[in-house]
Structures are given as structure tokens and as C-alpha cells.
Chains A and B, each alone.
Chain A
Amino acid sequence: MSALSNLVYKELKELFRDPKFVIGMIVVSLVIFPLLSKMFTYSIESTKKATTITIGIVDFDKGYFSKNLKDYLKSVPNVKIVESPNISTLTNSSEEISAIIVIPKGFSHNITSNSRAYLRVFTVIRRFSLIQGSSSASVISILNSYKRYLSTLLLKMNLPDVDPLAVLDPLLIQEGTFIKGELFNIPSSTLFQLMTMYYVVIPYSMMFLLIIAIQIAATSMASEKERKTLETLLTLPISRSTIFLGKLIGSAIVALIGSAAYMAGFMYYMKSLIEVQAQGLASYSMLSKLGLLPSKISFILLGAIVVMTLLSSISLALCLGSFAESVQSAQSISGMLAPFIFLPSLFTLFVDISLLPLPLKLILYAIPFTHISTATRAALENAYGKLILILLYLTTFTAIVLYITARLFSMEEKILASRLFRRRMLRKKR
């Protein structure tokens, strides 16, 4: 027991002193995400506060309503108007004109004679930037609000007894959703948005955890070889399985710590996104109140499934990594596992596995990583039977991998003398 904790402690100490690991895991999660969310909120706020937009106007109408439009535009905060008799002076103007509105002849006449009037709007692009895009979009939205204002004005003039709103927006829709017979005053689309977010967020953060764990585990044997510490380790008075277990637990702990940092960063990011979109994080508690979150039992089963998936992938990585001679080749081995982790889950996002032809279904179900998604789904539906089945499969899978890996570890010649592999392969090539 003390030998095991000694080994685990060593693994942790080494990893946390590895600048690549610390920067890659902790700093990226804890700095990049908050930074991203700051940038996101900043960009939202900056477009809201929008620096002054300059609009160029060419007025060929010079009537009552063209003046009305110009007065309206002038009253909009942060909008600057530049008038000119022709377009070319505006496009070449030193002022940063975002858009040019051309009011054709007959604009006012058309409006007063109850027919449709026309406007031409040109966006002026000097260089491509996202801010530019947002400012030309806001010119359109200003014009749209003018349209509404104009409609109200015309209605008041032509039908003085009618409330303009009753014509412009005659129908008010109030959405509600019945969940398990109980009424909630929220639109179902909001609910589905939230659900989708959880379908995606939970599996993908777990996948991230797996990727780190696999990386660490696969490289850990190879790095013992590369630094020539493996031979010494294998002659200490500890069993092969203790060494193996030490690496297994070390990788798992680090993966958990790493994913905790990642989750903290990610949650912070998501939270700020949600807050900006004014949906409120209350929606999480809302979901749980609605019974759309896993029950305690589902949650425990899901936890067990996560641990099993983690264990099986770590031992798989340890096993494959033992063959690698250098850290670099171990990394490429673990890189080969990545598609098996991401693709099935990506697939399940778009396709219902149960509707697939049987062979494809079996292949997908045989890949342990598929069950990160299927289990998350089953947990949200509280489908205990499914969860237990998944857990059983993963346990069997893990047991087999552990057995094979343990066997491999006892054949130390295979691990030690990888030089031998190369020689044999060289000879085969000849």
C-alpha cells in the first residue's frame, strides 16, 4: 500500500512539475476560458454601446417624408448624418461612412399617395472587420424601426380611431409548456435549447477528460524508458501490478484534477454566455425542478460509467504506450485513439443509433467511448436498465483490457527490450 502511494505521489509530482502539462491543462482551462468569456461579453457590450455610426444621405426627393426620415435618423443616439448631392463624394469622403442611404425622387409623393416608397441603402466597406458588419446591420435595423414608426404615423393619419398596435401586431402569443402534466410558463424552444446544451456539454467535457488521461497514461511508460528509469523501477521490491496500478491511479487523478480545472473554466464561460443571452443560470435549477436532470440513481450510475470508461481508456493507453519507445511515438499512439473518442459521440448527436443497420450499430456500441453519449442520454431519461447494461459492458471491457495489460507487464522482456522489436522489424524489411 505504501509503495503504491509512493508511486502515485511520484507520478503526480512529476506531472505537476512538467511545464508543458501545467500550461496545457491548468492555465489553458483557467485562463483561456475566462478570457474568452471576457472577450465575448466585451464584444457584445461594445456593439451595444456602438461607437458613432456615420450615415451618408443623398436626398433626391427633398419632400416632407425625406425630411421626416432625416430628422428621425438625427434623433437616434450615436448616429451622425452627412448629406451630399451625389454618391461619389460620400464614398470618397474622409469620414468613416458605414452606409449611404439614397432617397429617390417621389419618395414623399409615394407615401402620401398611399403607394409603396423605395429607399436604396449601400454599405461602404473599406476593410473587412466584424465591427463593420455589425454597423451596417445596425443601419438596417434603424431603418426597420423607422418603418414601424412610419406605419404608426400613417395609421394615425388614415384611421384616427384605431389603435395602431391592434393593426400592426394584432396577435399576442403567450407560450407555455406542459411537462409531465405540470404547466410551466416558458416556451418549449428555450427548454430544448437548454437540453441540447446539456447533451453536448456533459459528453464533451468527459471526452476532454479522456483525452488528457490517455495522453498521460500512454506517455508515462515511454517516458520511463526514455529517461532510462524503467529498468531500476522493475527491479524494486514491488510487483509489476503495483507499478501498473500506480500509473493507472496517477493518470486518473491528474485527469480528474485537469478536468475539474477545465470544467470550472468551461462553466464560467457558459455562464457568462447564458447571462449575456439573458436566459439566466436559474435554468439549471429549473431543469432539475422539471425532473429533466438525472435522478440520484442515474447520477451514481453515470458516475460509475465515467469511472469505468476512464479506467478502460487509461489501461488501454498504458498497454499501447508500453510498446512505444519514445514519448513522441507514445503521443502518436494516443493520437490514434482520439477519433474513436470523438467520432461516435459526434455521430450520436446527429443520428439516432438505434435506427442504424445492425452491424453498424454493433460496431458503435462496441467502442467504449460511444457510451459517454448514450449514457448521458440514458441518464437524462432515467433509463436505469440501459445504464446498468452499459455499465456491465464497460466493466467487462475494462476487465479484459486490464487482464491483457497486466499479462503484458509481466512479460517484461516485451516492455524492456523494445530495441528487439525494431531489430526484428528491420530484418523483416530486408
Chain B
Amino acid sequence: MPQEYAVLVDNLVKIYEGGIEALKGISFKVLPGEVFGIIGPNGAGKTTLMRIMATLLKPTSGTVRILGYDVVKEPEQVRKVISYLPEEAGAYPSFTGFEYLEFMAKFYTDDKEEIKVMIEDAKRICGLGDRLRDRIKSYSKGMLRRLLVARALMIRPRVALLDEPTSGLDVLHAMYIRNIIREYAKKFGITVLLSSHNMLEVEYLCDRVAILNKGQLIAEGRPEELKEIYSASNLEEVFARAVTYERFK
């Protein structure tokens, strides 16, 4: 059954047990092969949304479908098609970079050749070179992040969920990772859903963006479209105007 939408989020609500309303009924759709950005300030609910899509959290109400699979009813199916990069993630410190990548690759295939290809890909994505032979505990924060991004992309998932993929990276590495995410998405037809609080970086990277603020989606569209609608020169201005507009609604 061909899927019209890679990701379908419909009226999603998440109220944490403490009573905090992290998502207040959001809806959006992501097309196959699209790079879709969710932007918003800290505390907007981006991580909550990502975790629900990654089958880690159960929504309070509403539905999320990934390639047609319901994240609540068919989490096993969802996990087979996604690759999730958590916002704060770690790796096993006693493993070398290569060992970690191999460990992860083995969950997706038994074929030695395919594993080799995945690790080669990862090596290129992270750009760590021979440092992959070293134990992960000797890595800097940025190196670890690059390794984890590589881990998420190397398996060529059908849908990649990347929560703040460039957090903790310096400008040059962030740029490099942005380019490589885009390149992989286009080359292998990977649908990418990424979150970021850096609105400028998303502008270069994403085909379409959604602006999330205090658990609500306040704008959605292609960066150029949004800039035109809000007559702004960049997405930061779009965000500022959308928030103000929201207040008067």
C-alpha cells in the first residue's frame, strides 16, 4: 500500500502526569523524502513530540502515523522504519566508535557486507576517521554527537527522527552535519523530521518547517513561503511575528 504521507500527526495532545500540557492538539503532515523541521524555543514541546513519534511516550490523545503505522497500536512496526536520535544521547564508553556502530548495525541486518557498508557510511558521516578505533570515553561532546548522528543515518531508515541533531557542535561541524543530513535524505529518499531551536540553521536545511510554541503549532510551510507571509527576512523574524500574531488571535 503506497503511503501518501510519511508522517501524519493529528490533533496530538500530551499532558504529563504532573499536569504539564506539553502538546495542545497539534496536527501536521510530512511527505515522503521531505526534510521537515520543527522549530521552537526551549520548552516548546519538540522533544515530547519526537518521543511520541519514536514510540517512547504515549500520547494523551490524538494519533501519530508513521508510514501508515500507528505509534500506539503498532510500535514494533514503527520501530522497524524509524531511526531516532535523542536530544541527550550517549554511547557505551568502553566501546570503540567502530564497535558501537557495529553493535547498532547488527540490529538491522545479519549480512556482513551490509554491515560493512553501513559502517563505511557512518565513517563518512561522522568524519571521525581513525578516532573511531578509540574508546568512546575519550571522545569530546561534539565527537560523540557526530558518532550518534552517523549511527542514526547509516542504517538508511525510511524515516529519521533527529532531535536537535547539531546541538553541542561547533559552527563548522554543525554545517558539515547539516549538509550531510540533506545529502543523505535526498540520495536515499529518507524522510527526515528534525527539531531545532536554532531557526536559522533550519532555514538552510529544511524543505518545510513547523513553528511550535508552548505546545501549539503556530505556523507551517516552506521557509520562503513563511518569510513572505510574515514579510520577514529570516525564520527568526517569522517566529517573533507569529508569536505576536498568536497573542492577538
Contacts and interface: CB of A to CB of B under 8 A. Distances in A.
Q: Do A and B come from one complex?
A: yes
Interface of A: 2-3, 6, 10, 13-14, 17-18, 227-229, 231-232, 234-239, 412-413, 416-417, 420, 423-424, 427
Nearest to A426: B18
B56 A10 contact: no
Interface size grouping (class) on chain B:
20 to 34
Contacts of A412: 56-57
Contact of A237 (B88, B91, B107): B107
A183 B41 CA distance: 89
Main secondary structure of the interface of B (DSSP, over half): loop
A305 B180 CA distance: 55
Contact of A420 (B17, B76, B104): B17
A13 B103 CA distance: 11
Nearest to A234: B56
16 contacts: A2-B106, A13-B99, A227-B90, A228-B86, A231-B54, A231-B56, A234-B56, A235-B79, A238-B79, A238-B107, A412-B56, A413-B58, A416-B57, A417-B57, A420-B18, A423-B18
A420 B16 contact: yes
Interface string B101-136: 001101110100000000000000000000000000
B230 interface: no
B18 A227 contact: no
A228 B58 contact: no
Residue from the set B54, B86, B99 with the largest chain A CB neighbour count within 10 Å: B86
Closest 7 CB pairs of A and B: A228-B90, A17-B94, A235-B84, A231-B86, A227-B90, A237-B80, A6-B106
Nearest to A229: B90
A364 B113 CA distance: 56
Interface of B: 16-18, 51, 54-58, 76, 79-80, 82-86, 88-95, 99, 103-104, 106-108, 110, 148, 151
Given A413-B57, A413-B58, A232 B84 contact: yes
B95 to A, nearest CB: 7
Contact of A424 (B17, B92, B95, B108): B17
Given A229-B90, A237-B79, A3 B106 contact: yes
Contacts, number: 76
B107 A3 contact: yes
A373 to B, nearest CB: 37
Contacts of A231: 51, 54, 56, 84, 86, 89
A14 B94 contact: yes
A229 B104 CA distance: 12
Contact of B18 (A17, A236, A424): A424
Contacts of B103: 6, 10
Nearest to A16: B94
Nearest to B110: A2
Given A413-B58, A416-B57, A423-B18, A237 B90 contact: no
Contact of B92 (A229, A237, A416, A420): A229
A17 B18 CA distance: 40
Contacts of A227: 90-93
Given A235-B54, A416-B57, 12 more contacts: A3-B106, A14-B92, A229-B89, A229-B90, A231-B54, A231-B56, A232-B84, A232-B85, A236-B79, A236-B104, A238-B107, A424-B17
Nearest to A410: B75
Contacts of B85: 232
A423 B148 CA distance: 29
Nearest to B55: A235
Contacts of A236: 79, 104, 107
A365 B99 CA distance: 46
Contacts of B107: 3, 6, 236-238
Contacts of B89: 228-229, 231-232
A416 B56 contact: yes
Contacts of A427: 18
Contacts of B110: 2
